[in-house]
Amino acid sequence: MSKMFQDVISTEEQFAELRSVYGQPGERAAKKVISYLDQHCRDPLPSHPFYPWLPL
């Protein structure tokens, strides 16, 4: 059996523990987070074999 996704952060306590170990992300890393698919993300999608079923 695969161990993939067995150690997933799913509670606030686990998230706080992670932050205590790694700290806050740097400003440059935080600016990379986007809440939408921009053109750079969408451009390669039509070549994906599951493109017609992607929820865009």
Q: What is the pLDDT of residues 1-56, one digit of tens each?
A: 567 777 888 899 999 999 999 999 999 999 999 888 889 888 887 887 776 766 66
Q: Give residues with Cβ within 8 angstroms of 15, minimum separation 6.
A: 9
What's the confidence (pLDDT) of residue 45? 79
Between CA 2 and CA 21 the distance in angstroms is 26
> Letter for the amino acid at 30?
A
Between CA 21 and CA 17 the distance in angstroms is 6
pTM: 0.45
What's the confidence (pLDDT) of residue 56? 60
DSSP 44: T
